[in-house]
């Protein structure tokens, strides 16, 4: 008897500033998936408008009661959702909660982990309790800006520093602040993306990023990528408009690479992650490895870090994605 293909939804779009990037990630994933093994559809989520792209170039509405749709008069029900939304609702636990309610397996970590990793300030405080090195930071909430003065920020965090949306999946709204006169406009800019803003101390050093996934039978750590940009920091233009040099594997010592891998694996286990994650770090001149961010829905365009690292590891994205999907059905 012929095996029945699983039906996969690549869920993209979302309601953040990185909507278009998410659509590109979906196209990348679609090209990587094993079509001999899976029936793959792209589902675009935007507000309450959820539509699936059909093979004839048209779209059909998704029934949000059970995440199904009609194609040629036939009901199609998904077996699995691969979430590639950068920002809300796919990176902060909201969509994960929905999939939990309808009992549909999905590619990312669970509701709590997604909510926590989406909030950079909360995640830093949590992982600090496990001994993970992170930059010093403080939180400013919209409507309560007066509780922390510019002088207090300068004394506590120091200059230069970063001001960024605390709860946001994108590179929008981030500023490198060099003196306290720049704090107020930077905070206003960040609050256009998030009601909570994190002011974070500047860490000098080499920036790297490492992808990782685990299944019931194995743990896979990809070669680290070194991120070199002439911009003030790894901002949106550096990330998506080519203003960056990405070197895989990173130009770091074997010892530092091993320690960074150990930290990455440890964080994956602490958070009980699922699927592919990517963790960004700064390595100080003295060799201290500090975590910057945990990305639970990393970009999947052809030039994104994860596909680069998979190739550098001598692996195939098709096989990696099959690993991740099938791990849910063992």
Q: Tell me the pTM.
A: 0.91
| Mean pLDDT of all residues belonging to the chain | 92
pLDDT, tens digit, 9 for 90 and up, residues 270-312? 999 999 999 999 999 999 999 999 999 999 988 899 999 999 9
Q: Confirm if 166 and 119 have CB atoms less than 8 A apart.
A: yes
Taking the C-alpha atoms of residue 82 and residue 10, their distance in angstroms, rounded to an integer, is 5
What pLDDT shows up at residue 3?
A: 63
Six-digit token string for 273:
């992650």
Mean pLDDT of all residues in 126-145:
94
Q: Confirm if 319 and 37 have CB atoms less than 8 A apart.
A: no
Q: Taking 80 as the threshold, does the pLDDT of residue 230 lie above it?
A: no
What pLDDT shows up at residue 239?
A: 52
Question: C-alpha angle 217/222/223, rounded to 5°?
Answer: 150
What pLDDT shows up at residue 167?
A: 83
Q: Confirm if 165 and 194 have CB atoms less than 8 A apart.
A: yes
What pLDDT shows up at residue 233?
A: 53
Taking the C-alpha atoms of residue 262 and residue 181, their distance in angstroms, rounded to an integer, is 40
CB atoms within 10 A of CB 23: 18
Taking the C-alpha atoms of residue 63 and residue 69, their distance in angstroms, rounded to an integer, is 6
What pLDDT shows up at residue 1?
A: 36
Mean pLDDT of all residues in 246-259:
96
Taking the C-alpha atoms of residue 143 and residue 273, their distance in angstroms, rounded to an integer, is 34
Q: Hey, what's the torsion of the CAs at 69, 107, 250, 316, to 10 degrees?
A: -70
**Confidence class for position 32, pLDDT limits 50, 70, 90:** very high
Q: Taking 80 as the threshold, does the pLDDT of residue 231 lie above it?
A: no
**Confidence class for position 146, pLDDT limits 50, 70, 90:** confident
């Amino acid at each position: 008897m012929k095996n029945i293909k699983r039906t996969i939804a690549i869920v993209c779009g979302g309601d953040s500033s990185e909507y278009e990037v998410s659509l590109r990630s979906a196209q990348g994933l679609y090209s990587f998936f094993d079509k001999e093994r899976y029936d793959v559809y792209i589902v675009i989520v935007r507000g309450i408008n959820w539509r699936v792209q059909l093979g004839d170039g048209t779209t059909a509405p998704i029934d949000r009661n059970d995440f199904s749709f009609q194609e040629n008069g036939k009901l199609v029900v998904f077996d699995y959702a691969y979430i590639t939304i950068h920002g809300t609702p796919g990176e902060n636990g909201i969509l994960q909660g929905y999939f939990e309610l309808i009992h549909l397996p999905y590619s990312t970590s669970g509701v709590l982990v997604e909510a926590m990793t989406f909030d950079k300030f909360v995640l830093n405080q949590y992982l600090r309790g496990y001994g993970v090195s992170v930059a010093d930071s403080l939180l400013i909430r919209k409507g309560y800006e007066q509780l922390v003065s510019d002088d207090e920020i300068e004394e506590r965090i120091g200059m230069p520093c970063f001001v960024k949306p605390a709860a946001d999946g994108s590179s929008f709204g981030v500023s490198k602040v060099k003196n306290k006169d720049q704090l107020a406009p930077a905070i206003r800019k960040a609050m256009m993306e998030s009601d909570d803003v994190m002011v974070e101390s500047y860490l000098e050093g080499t920036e790297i990023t490492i992808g990782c996934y685990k299944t019931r039978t194995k743990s896979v750590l990809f070669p680290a990528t070194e991120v070199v940009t002439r911009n003030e920091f790894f901002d949106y233009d550096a990330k998506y408009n080519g203003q960056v040099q990405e070197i895989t594997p990173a130009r770091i010592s074997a010892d530092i690479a091993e320690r960074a891998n150990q930290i990455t694996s440890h964080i994956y286990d602490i958070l009980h992650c699922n699927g592919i994650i990517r963790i960004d770090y700064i390595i100080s001149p003295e060799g201290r490895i500090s975590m910057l961010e945990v990305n639970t829905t990393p970009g999947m365009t052809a030039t994104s870090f994860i596909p680069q690292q998979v190739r550098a590891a001598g692996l195939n994205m098709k096989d990696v994605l099959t690993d991740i999907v099938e791990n849910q059905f063992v």
